[in-house]
Amino acid sequence: MSAPIIQGWCPGALRPMLSGDGLVVRIRAQGGRLEPETLRGIADLARRFGNGLIDLSARANLQLRGATEATHAPLIDGLRALSLIDASPEAEARRNIIVTPFWAEGDGSADLAARLAKALAQADAPQTPGKFGYAVDTGPAPVLSDVSADIRIERDTSGNLILRADGSDAALPVTPATAVPAALDLARWFLASGGAPSGRGRMAAHLARGATLPETFRPIPRRNGAPAPAPGPLPQGFLAAFAFGQIDAETLGALAGLGPIRLTPWRMVLIEGATTAPAIPGLITDPADPILNVTACTGAPGCPQALGETRALARRIAPLVPKGTLLHVSGCAKGCAHPGKADFALTATLDGFKGARNATAAEAAARPSTVPVGPSDLSLWLNQPTAPEKP
């Protein structure tokens, strides 16, 4: 098995990441919300300076693909004109915030996210590792519990605000006025207590190694989280998905005609105020669509680390996946599209695809034998209670 390269950081706009189809330029939308005029501007920039493909990331960001060294500077100028660029790469990396897309006017979520973003933009804000992030999960029910974040602003069972360190049952009671300063203090504690040796580290791993939170934190029960949402109408609007979380510039431009959108960490968008499924090609609006049972990374040739093509295979497999289960097709052992365990994991290796049940991409890649990827073989592998290993 060829070991993938762990970058330890996420792409940004000012610090893009090179992929197989050019530079990946990540847009961190303020509050996870984009107005129609901004959507039209992004779609135009994606066509002019990229290859027109846009990814929806698991951190509720947009990623423009296909930029080059020559087009990156004018792309940044265009994004800056849309107020989408931070003052520096360091400020951009710090502003790693996921906001519940189901906030309502007056519930304080949008205001908390805006004040947190402003605080992280200050020069004295804690310079946490590139993957370190914040979640503002203060809507009607918690929905970000399974989404990657290190510091969480939540509500307790009585509806009061609390600050929680990821990976801990302990939390700190806060108010709308103290939540943001307390979040930055917790980030500073993380750094000062050795949470980021060599510039890398996550909160849950730090606590698992034995770090003890400040004494002001105490056990506070969690609210029951809501299940992962599916496409369809919601009180805030209509939730629409895209195959493998990828959209083209034309579709993004068409969405602009429907009103503001909120980005989600489930690679879907919430179209504010919409009550019915939009008639736009490329949108997945049926919660029973089999493509929703499969996740797949960019794969080869779009990702230089991928050892196999993924998305065409995933499309072929999707109708075979048992209902209520998830298949993850990964181009390498990193498993970027789904870092956790999936009901079924297929990972490309130098020897071919290897598979495992209830496994991560890395665990599947470590299996000794490959899985043939023909339809009959995969149907057998996916649907037998115990799938036989293929030599």
Name the domain boundary from 188, 219, 250. Answer: 219
Asked if the structure places residue 264 within a domain, the reply is no
Which H, E and C letters describe 74-100, residue by residue?
HHHHHHHHCCCCCCCHHHHHHCCEEEC
Co-location of 211 and 100 in the same domain: yes
Return the DSSP state at 273.
T
Quote the pLDDT of residue 384: 76
Same domain (yes/no): 114, 208: yes
From first to last of its 391 residues, the chain has per-residue pLDDT tens of 445 555 555 789 999 999 889 999 999 999 999 999 999 999 999 999 999 999 999 899 999 999 999 999 999 999 999 999 999 999 999 999 999 999 998 999 999 999 999 999 999 999 999 999 999 999 888 999 999 999 999 999 999 999 999 999 999 999 999 999 999 999 999 999 999 998 999 999 999 999 999 999 999 998 988 888 999 999 999 999 999 999 999 999 999 999 999 999 999 999 999 999 999 998 999 999 999 999 999 899 888 889 999 999 999 999 999 998 999 999 999 998 888 899 999 999 999 999 999 999 999 999 998 988 888 888 888 987 654 444 3
**Helix (H), strand (E) at residue 33:** strand 33-34
| The pLDDT of residue 385 | 67
Tell me what pLDDT residue 339 has.
Answer: 84
User: Most distant CA pair in the chain: distance in Å?
Assistant: 61
Token output for 377: 């073989």
Angle, helices 179-192 vs 109-120, to 10°: value is 40
**pLDDT score for 386:** 55
Q: Do β-strands 237-241 and 232-234 pair in parallel, antiparallel, or remain unpaired?
A: antiparallel
CA-angle at 202, arms to 102 and 88, nearest 5°: 75
* 8 A C-beta contact, residue 202 and residue 243: no
**Residue 2: its pLDDT value, please?**
47
Which runs of consecutive H residues, i.e. helices, occur in 193-231?
A: 203-208
Total number of domains constituting the chain = 2
Cis peptide before 278, with omega less than 30 degrees from 0?
Answer: no
Residues 307 and 203 in one domain: no
Q: Which amino acid is at 162?
A: I
Tell me how many degrees the CA angle 359-362-365 measures, rounded to the nearest 5. 95
The percent helix, strand, coil of the chain (3-state, each to 5) is 30, 20, 50
Report pLDDT for 110. Answer: 95
From 293, 343, 355, 356, select the one nearest 323 (Cα to Cα): 293
Question: Does residue 241 lie in a domain region?
Answer: no
Q: Are residues 102 and 195 in the same domain?
A: yes
Residue type, 250: E
> Is 232 among the domain residues?
no
List the domain range (segments joined by +) for residue 198.
91-219
Contact indicator for 239, 268 with CB cutoff of 8 Å: yes
* Distance from C-alpha of 255 to C-alpha of 56, rounded to nearest angstrom: 14
- Same domain, yes or no, for 184 and 295? no
* Dihedral pair phi/psi, residue 320, rounded to 5°: -90, -15
pLDDT of residue 228: 84
214 and 308 belong to one structural domain: no
Between the two ends of the chain, the Cα-to-Cα distance in Å is: 16
